[in-house]
Amino acid sequence: MRMRPTLAFFLLLIGFPLAAAAQGDIRLGLGGGLTLPLRADADLVKKGWMGMANLAYFPGASASLGFRLDALYARNVFKVTDGHRTELGGLGNLVFQFGARRTPNRLYVFGGGGYVRTQETGASFGTVTSTDPALDAGAGCSFGVRAFALFVEARYLNVYTSGTKPQFLALTGGISFGGL
């Protein structure tokens, strides 16, 4: 008769994630775009590119407020010397969506923080690496069909490091899957 508790445990184990997913909206996004250096950073590096992935969760049937984890990789070439700078980071953002819940056609704003690993490589100075806190904020829109949407967004990212802070505006576009 030990079969009933084991069966109940496995049904609970399988049913809990399904019930959690039914209670909210989970989306995976992949994208890329252009980075525009700002302020003093614009004197050091040229325009670059950025790739990103994100995972968003919006709890509840009518929730407009959600949480998003962003991973990013950006690369810019130095203006004055041979070399480049790369940023690899992870950020946690609160997201607020405007518009009807059951449509991927929405406007949204986001903001949050995390950590970014900055690596500067050049012939005259070798490689310098640091991992520092960062803040970001931005806005975007998505449009598409139920489980598939395209998105465009603008993001301001500021990395708090010693010396000249990497600061840039990222203009990205991509595709997201899931949810709704």
Residue 147: what pLDDT? 83
Q: Which domain holds residue 28?
A: 24-177
Domain-located, residue 7 = no
Domain-located, residue 86 = yes
Number of domains in the chain: 1
Per-residue pLDDT tens over the stretch 66-77: 999 999 999 999
- pLDDT more than 70, % of the chain: 84
Q: What is the CATH number of the domain that holds 86?
A: 2.40.160.20
Domain-located, residue 44 = yes
Q: Which helix (H) or strand (E) holds 72?
A: strand 65-77
What global pTM score does this model have?
0.81
Domain-located, residue 72 = yes
Q: Evaluate if residue 13 carries a pLDDT over 60.
A: no
In angstroms, what CA-CA distances link 31 with 13, 51, 87, 116, 137? 33, 6, 16, 18, 17
Per-residue pLDDT tens over the stretch 95-142: 999 877 667 788 999 999 999 999 999 988 889 999 999 999 999 999
19-37: average pLDDT: 83
